[in-house]
């Protein structure tokens, strides 16, 4: 009899916080693989764990996607859908998950060669969408997201075995230095921070509004920030940030009148398809962690 | 019989929000008055309502004042004092008021010619301290301050008749672009935003932790930000921002591990001494709005 076992390269949610050096490449594509990213850009991504792109999509695309975002947020059926997450205080829509399935317009964005070809190039294979969402951070007090590594959650709760996923956040409104933009600790993707504490069964419902289980300690964050610093991303609508699944990142609140809206797509390698969660009693719903591994074409 | 009446140039806390053009100069000193500020700097202050100064005090001073701040925050007697305000969530000290009376070290800072001479030059007279405090914005989630004009409060609740007060915020830790720094709308000091809503009797206790009465509407803030933009201040320890009493300003939260500490002094002209509150049933305590008008010497 043969038993298939999955080795857990990245232990987390145990009794203590554990630092594990990254066991995986950052750029998976073979050197010289052609694609939209230049070798120097791949080098930057490898070193920093992220890569800003000035105008990934043009003004006409921005207008179209932004209009679609507004349409979705105003649609009572979308609001009532379990895939919509509302702001704790104001009850405004904060995120809509699985937008590439809800909206044919966003489905196109996922297939756009400017988008998916970059993901393929970084991950060195065909890719599928592990998660997609639009984020709306309304002005006048929307709260931020506390520090976390996405991979920590995707590994613990969704069962992604390896660090072979990449996210792209495309700005649909201007990201100022004042409206709660994305903050990343450059280079933090090289260390996996296994968090202390077990995962409650319905953790995802709470953690989409405010992070709790899987939260790094003050000590660990102080050390990581001391070693790596913190970079804040600003940019015009249409600009994007590609970032590795294991970057330590977060965002502050937004008291300005400027809403911060973006569309966020997570590509995972088809060779890294989700298995059972590594540190949670149940899988999260499929609109948060996909189980359909069909490659994007 | 003669009755002395005080005209209210800046009505606020009535039934509706009212915009009143500024009735007062921004720089009160006669042109050519000598002092540490160059004419171009006074011009910038007049136009923007603020003036950043790169190294107002040197590293040795920073070390001394920062040590004094830490000493005060660790002192149980200071913590128990009503002049100390604690963070709602963490119960850490957030501000200590009247530090120039509590601490001989900070009393020196107020008298330092690099500080008080600039205030005299802007206000065109002798000055006294309307308020002083140290602010500690600890990392890992300290909340910010919502948008407000200080003068709105000082007029409504402390009885400052005219816009003839200036604040200086001196950084004692680095102000990054990520740790909840001061945001000002440049040029907003030219318009007085009279707020809607009456002042409750013990408003100050609540408003020191979180702004409530005297809060501008979303509509007004959107218009002001659209007209003026928003500037975020960053700087090394020892850097300072001078800003007019009527600037629309605020700050976001601080989830970084970097605490943001500063000392904040409000100078008022001796020719603008506080009278009775213009829009509040009672005066605030003297540690928040001074009634001792002795000039700084």
Q: What is the pLDDT of residues A242-285, one digit of tens each?
A: 999 999 999 999 999 999 999 999 999 999 999 999 999 999 99
Q: Do B140 and A221 touch (CB under 8 A)?
A: yes
Which has more confidence, B201 or A143?
Answer: A143
Closest approach of B185 to chain A, Cα-based (Å): 10
Q: Determine the straight-line distance between the first and last CA of chain B, rounded to whole angstroms.
A: 38
Q: What is the pLDDT of residues B55-96, one digit of tens each?
A: 999 999 999 999 999 999 999 999 999 999 987 777 788 899
Q: Order of strands across the sheet with B93-97?
A: B50-53, B240-244, B165-171, B260-269, B127-137, B93-97, B84-86
Q: What is the pLDDT of residues B164-207, one digit of tens each?
A: 999 999 999 999 999 999 999 999 999 999 998 877 777 766 66
3-class SS string, B164-179: CEEEEEEECCCECCCC
Q: Do B183 and A183 touch (CB under 8 A)?
A: no
Q: Quick check: is B200 in a domain?
A: yes
User: Which CATH number characterizes residue A72's domain?
Assistant: 2.60.120.620
Nearest to B144 among A176, A218, A255 (CB): A255
Q: Order of strands across the sheet with A127-137?
A: A50-53, A240-244, A165-171, A260-269, A127-137, A93-97, A84-86
CB distance A275 to A154 below 8 Å: no
CA dist B136 and B79 (Å) reads: 13
Instruction: Give the domain range for residue A237.
Output: 49-272
Question: CA dist A249 to A12, A144, A174, Å?
Answer: 18, 11, 19
CB-based burial label for A130 (10 Å; 0-12, 13-18, 19+):
buried
Q: Quick check: is B24 in a domain?
A: no
Which has more confidence, A207 or A112?
Answer: A112
CB distance B179 to B256 below 8 Å: yes
B-facing residues of A in 78-137 (CB < 8 A) are none
Q: DSSP string spanning A142-158? A: B--EEEEEHHHHHHHHH
Tell me whether B232 touches chain A (CB under 8 Å).
yes
CA dist B212 and B230 (Å) reads: 21
CA dist B23 and B246 (Å) reads: 12
Q: DSSP string spanning chain B? A: --------SS--SBSS-EEEE--S-S--SPTT--SSS-HHHHHHHHHHSEEEETTSS-HHHHHHHHHHHHHHHH-HHHHHSTTEEE-TTT--EEEEE-HHHH-HHHHHHHH-HHHHHHHHHHHTS-EEEEEEEEEEE-TTTB--EEEEEHHHHHHHHH---SS-EEEEEEESS-B-SSS--EEE-TTGGGEEEEPBSPPPTTHHHHHTTS-BTBPPPHHHHHHHHHHH--EE--B-TT-EEEEETT-EEEE--B-SS--EEEEEEEEEEGGG---S-SS-SSPPPTTTS----PPP-
Q: Quick check: is B293 in a domain?
A: no
CA dist B286 and B279 (Å) reads: 17
Q: What pLDDT shows up at residue B65?
A: 98
Q: What pLDDT shows up at residue B266?
A: 98
Q: Do A257 and B221 touch (CB under 8 A)?
A: yes
Task: Give the model's confidence band at A6: pLDDT under 50 very low, under 70 low, under 90 confident, else very high.
Answer: low
ipTM of this complex: 0.88
Collapsing DSSP to helix, strand or coil, A133 comes out as strand
Task: Give the model's confidence band at A211: pLDDT under 50 very low, under 70 low, under 90 confident, else very high.
Answer: very low
Q: Quick check: is B109 in a domain?
A: yes
Closest approach of A233 to chain B, Cα-based (Å): 10
Q: Quick check: is A43 in a domain?
A: no
Tell me whether A141 touches chain B (CB under 8 Å).
yes
Collapsing DSSP to helix, strand or coil, A179 comes out as coil
Residue A42 has pLDDT above 60, yes or no: yes
Residue B251: partners with Cβ closer than 8 Å, 6 or more residues away:
A255, B137, B144, B145, B180, B181, B182, B183
To the nearest whole percent, how much of chain A has pLDDT over 90? Answer: 84
Q: Quick check: is B35 in a domain?
A: no
Residue B253 has pLDDT above 60, yes or no: yes
Q: How many CB atoms lie within 10 A of CB A26?
A: 20
Q: What is the pLDDT of residues B200-221, one digit of tens each?
A: 777 766 665 544 677 999 999 9
The number of distinct structural domains making up chain B is: 1
Q: Quick check: is B56 in a domain?
A: yes
CA dist B261 and B181 (Å) reads: 10
Q: What pLDDT shows up at residue B15?
A: 87
Q: What pLDDT shows up at residue A266?
A: 98
Residue B3 has pLDDT above 70, yes or no: no
Q: What pLDDT shows up at residue B75?
A: 94
DSSP 8-state class, residue A293: -
Task: Give the model's confidence band at A87: pLDDT under 50 very low, under 70 low, under 90 confident, else very high.
Answer: confident
Q: How many CB atoms lie within 10 A of CB B98?
A: 19
Q: DSSP string spanning A212-277? A: BTBPPPHHHHHHHHHHH--EE--B-TT-EEEEETT-EEEE--B-SS--EEEEEEEEEEGGG---S-
Chain B residues with CB under 8 Å of A183 CB are: 178, 256
Tell me whether B257 touches chain A (CB under 8 Å).
yes
Chain B residues with CB under 8 Å of A178 CB are: 183, 230, 232, 252
Name the closest residue on chain B to residue A258, using Cα atoms.
B222
What is the H or E stretch that residue A102 is in?
Answer: helix A99-102
Q: Do A258 and B146 touch (CB under 8 A)?
A: no
Q: Do B183 and A256 touch (CB under 8 A)?
A: yes
Question: CA dist A114 to A51, A120, A173, A271, Å?
Answer: 14, 11, 19, 22
Q: Do A232 and B177 touch (CB under 8 A)?
A: yes
Chain A residues with CB under 8 Å of B144 CB are: 253, 255
The CA-based angle B254-B258-B261, given to 5 degrees, is 80
Q: Do B252 and A252 touch (CB under 8 A)?
A: yes
The two structure tokens encoding residue B264: 């904040």
Q: Quick check: is B290 in a domain?
A: no
Residue B53 has pLDDT above 70, yes or no: yes
Tell me whether B174 touches chain A (CB under 8 Å).
no
Collapsing DSSP to helix, strand or coil, A136 comes out as strand
- Please say whether the dihedral angle defined by the alpha carbons of residues B203, B209, B215 and B218, taken in this order, is positive or negative: negative
Residue A149 has pLDDT above 90, yes or no: yes
Tell me whether A222 touches chain B (CB under 8 Å).
yes
CB distance A143 to A210 below 8 Å: yes
Average pLDDT, chain B: 93
Q: What is the pLDDT of residues A157-208, one digit of tens each?
A: 999 999 999 999 999 999 999 999 999 999 999 999 999 887 777 777 666 5
Tell me whether B210 touches chain A (CB under 8 Å).
no
């Amino acid at each position: 009899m043969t038993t298939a076992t999955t080795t857990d390269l990245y232990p987390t949610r145990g009794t203590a916080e554990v630092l594990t050096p990254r066991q995986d490449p950052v750029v998976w594509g073979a050197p010289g693989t052609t694609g939209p990213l230049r070798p120097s850009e791949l080098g930057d991504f490898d070193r920093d764990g992220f890569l800003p792109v000035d105008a990934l999509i043009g003004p006409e695309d921005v207008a179209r996607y932004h209009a679609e975002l507004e349409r979705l947020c105003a649609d009572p059926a979308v609001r009532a859908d379990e895939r919509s997450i509302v702001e704790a205080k104001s009850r405004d829509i904060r995120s809509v998950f699985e937008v590439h399935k809800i909206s044919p317009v966003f489905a196109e964005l996922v297939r756009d060669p400017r988008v998916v070809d970059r993901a393929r190039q970084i991950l060195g294979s065909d890719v599928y969408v592990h998660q997609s969402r639009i984020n709306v951070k309304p002005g006048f007090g929307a709260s931020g997201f506390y520090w976390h590594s996405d991979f920590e959650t995707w590994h613990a709760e969704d069962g992604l075995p390896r660090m072979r996923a990449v996210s792209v956040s495309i700005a649909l409104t201007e990201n100022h230095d004042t409206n709660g933009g994305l903050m990343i600790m450059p280079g933090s993707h090289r260390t996996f921070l296994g968090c202390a504490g077990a995962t409650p069964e319905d953790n995802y419902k709470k953690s989409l509004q405010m992070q709790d289980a899987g939260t790094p300690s003050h000590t660990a964050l102080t050390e990581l920030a001391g070693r790596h610093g913190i970079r804040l991303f600003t940019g015009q609508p249409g600009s994007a940030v590609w970032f590795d699944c294991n970057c330590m990142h977060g965002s502050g609140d937004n008291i300005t009148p400027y809403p911060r809206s973006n569309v966020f797509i997570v590509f995972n390698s088809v060779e890294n398809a989700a298995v059972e969660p590594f540190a949670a009693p149940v899988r999260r719903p499929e609109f948060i962690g996909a189980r359909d591994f069909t490659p994007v074409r």
